[in-house]
Amino acid sequence: SQTIHQWPATLVQPVGSPLSLECTVEGTSNPNLYWYRQAAGRGLQLLFYSVGIGQISSEVPQNLSASRPQDRQFILSSKKLLLSDSGFYLCAWRGLYNEQFFGPGTRLTVL
């Protein structure tokens, strides 16, 4: 069966510091992968999606970036975090019937 992992689970970072969040999927090949951000427990905002290795589409201009170095690995990064980057970051993969399955999330607090 397919599983999706995210780490770390929680992260507290100072403003201006770099960021790297990792997402990996098991049990499927060449999935579409997605990064979302959720603020205040409501509404998911799509940040990036990837249809394959090295292919990244950005949905929202911001100081975040994403990379897909391997088929089942999706990384969200920032060179310098802003206060507004705080939130709950969710990775998802697309299933056979277009449904999306989410990972456990990373809670990021920027101080």
Partner 1 sequence: GESVGLHLPTLSVQEGDNSIINCAYSNSASDYFIWYKQESGKGPQFIIDIRSNMDKRQGQRVTVLLNKTVKHLSLQIAATQPGDSAVYFCADEAPGGKLIFGQGTELSVKP
What is the closest distance, in whole angstroms, from the C-beta atom of residue 21 to partner 1 in the complex? 13
Q: Closer CB to partner 1, residue 34 or residue 74?
A: 34
Query: How far is Cα of residue 91 from the mean position of the Cα atoms in its chain?
Result: 4
The set of residues, in sequence order, having a beta carbon less than 8 Å from that of 9 and lying 6+ positions away, is 104, 105, 106, 107
Question: Mapping DSSP to helix (H, G, I), strand (E, B) and coil, where does residue 82 land?
Answer: coil
What is the closest distance, in whole angstroms, from the C-beta atom of residue 74 to partner 1 in the complex? 14
d(CA 28, CA 72): 8
Question: Mapping DSSP to helix (H, G, I), strand (E, B) and coil, where does residue 48 land?
Answer: strand
What is the closest distance, in whole angstroms, from the C-beta atom of residue 31 to partner 1 in the complex? 11
Residues binding partner 1 (CB under 8 A):
32, 34, 41-44, 46, 49, 57, 59, 90, 92, 94, 97-105, 107
Q: Closer CB to partner 1, residue 13 or residue 107?
A: 107
